[in-house]
Amino acid sequence: MKYIDEFRDGAIAKKIQARLHAEAQPARQYSFMEFCGGHTHAISRYGIGELLPHNVRMIHGPGCPVCVLPIGRIDLAIQLALERGAIVCTYGDTMRVPASGGLSLVRAKARGGDIRMVYSGADALEIARREPGREVVFFAIGFETTTPPTALTIRTAQQEGLKNFSVLCCHVLTPSAITHILESPEVRQFGTVPIDGFVGPAHVSIVIGSAPYEHFAEEYRKPVVIAGFEPLDVMQAVLMLVRQVNEGRAEVENEFTRAVNRDGNLHAQALVSQVFELRNSFEWRGLGEVPYSALKIRPAFAEFDAERRFGLGYQPVPDNKACECGAILRGVKKPTDCKIFGTVCTPENPVGSCMVSSEGACAAHYSYGRFKDIAVKVEVAA
Amino acid sequence: MCLAIPTQLIELRPGALGLVELGGIRKEISVALVPDAVVGDYVIVHVGHAIGRIDPEEARRTLAMFGTLSELAAANEAALP
Ligand code: SF4
What does the buried/exposed string (b/e) look like for A246-279 if buried means 16 or more CB atoms within 10 Å of the residue's CB? beeebbbbbbbbbbbbeebbeebbebbeebbeeb
pLDDT digits (tens, 9 = 90+) for B38-47: 999 999 999 9
Task: Report CA(A350)–ligand 1 centroid distance (Å).
Answer: 7
The pLDDT value recorded for residue A379 is 57
Q: What is the pLDDT of residue B33?
A: 96
Find out whether A172 and A145 touch, Cβ atoms under 8 Å: no
C-alpha–C-alpha distance, residues A276 and A267, integer Å: 14
Best CA proximity match to A137, nearest among A90, A170, A82, A72: A90
Distance A368 CA to ligand 1 centre (A): 16
CB A259 within 8 A of CB B54: yes
Query: What predicted TM-score, i.e. pTM, was given to this entire model?
Result: 0.90
With contact defined as beta carbons under 8 Å apart, do A195 and A31 qualify? yes
- The answer to whether B22 and B28 have CB atoms below 8 angstroms apart is no
Q: Do B52 and A91 touch (CB under 8 A)?
A: no
Chain B neighbors of A122, CB-CB under 8 A: 30, 48
Residue A225 near residue A212, CB atoms below 8 Å: no
Q: Are A168 and A314 in contact (CB under 8 A)?
A: no
Taking the Cβ of residue B59 and every Cβ of chain A, the question of whether any pair is shorter than 8 Å is answered with yes
Q: Cβ A203–B66 below 8 Å, yes or no?
A: no
Tell me what pLDDT residue A378 has: 58
Residue A199, strand partner residues:
A34, A225
Alpha-carbon distance values, B4 to A174, A176, B13, B19 (Å): 17, 23, 21, 16
Q: Is B23 on the interface with A (CB under 8 A)?
A: yes
Q: Which atom of ligand 1 is nearest to the CA of A354?
A: 7
Which amino acid is located at B81 in the chain? P
Measure in Å the smallest separation between the Cα of A36 and chain B Cα atoms: 8
Closest chain B residue to A155, measured at CA: B32
Q: CA A173 to CA A157: how far, in whole Å?
A: 24
Q: What crossing angle do the helices spanning B56-65 and A231-247 adopt, rounded to 10°?
A: 60
pLDDT over threshold 80, residue B57: yes
- Residue nearest (by alpha carbon) to ligand 1 atom 1: A341
Residue A143 touches chain B, beta carbons under 8 Å: yes
- A70 inside 8 A of chain B by CB: no
Cβ within 8 Å, pair B55-A120: no
Residue B78 has pLDDT above 60, yes or no: no
Residues in contact with ligand 1 by the CB-under-6-Å rule are A 323-325, 328, 335, 338, 340-341, 345, 350-352, 354-355, 362
Contact A364, A354 (CB under 8 A): no
Predicted-complex ipTM score: 0.85
Q: Ligand 1: which atom is nearest the Cα of residue A324?
A: 5
CA distance, residue A176 to nearest chain B CA (Å): 18
Q: How far is the CA of A369 from the centre of ligand 1 (A)?
A: 15
Strand A87-90 to A115-117 pairing: parallel
Q: What 8-state DSSP symbol labels residue A2?
A: T
Contact A136, A128 (CB under 8 A): yes
User: CB–CB of B2 and A359 under 8 A?
Assistant: yes
Yes or no, beta carbons of A258 and B59 under 8 Å apart:
yes
Q: How confident is the model at residue B80 (pLDDT cuts 50, 70, 90)?
A: very low
**CB proximity B72 to A under 8 Å:** yes
Residues of A within 8 A of B70 (CB-CB) are 23, 243
Integer Cα distance of A102 and A344 in angstroms:
14
Torsion (CA) A124, A38, B62, B12 in degrees, nearest 10:
-10
Decide: A361 and A328 in contact? Cβ < 8 Å: yes
Q: Is the pLDDT of residue B77 over 60?
A: no
Which residues of chain A fall short of a pLDDT of 70?
Answer: 189-191, 370-382
* pLDDT(B81) > 50: no
Judged by DSSP in three states, A266 sits in helix
CB contact under 8 A, B66 and A66: no
Tens digits of per-residue pLDDT, B58-70? 999 999 888 776 5
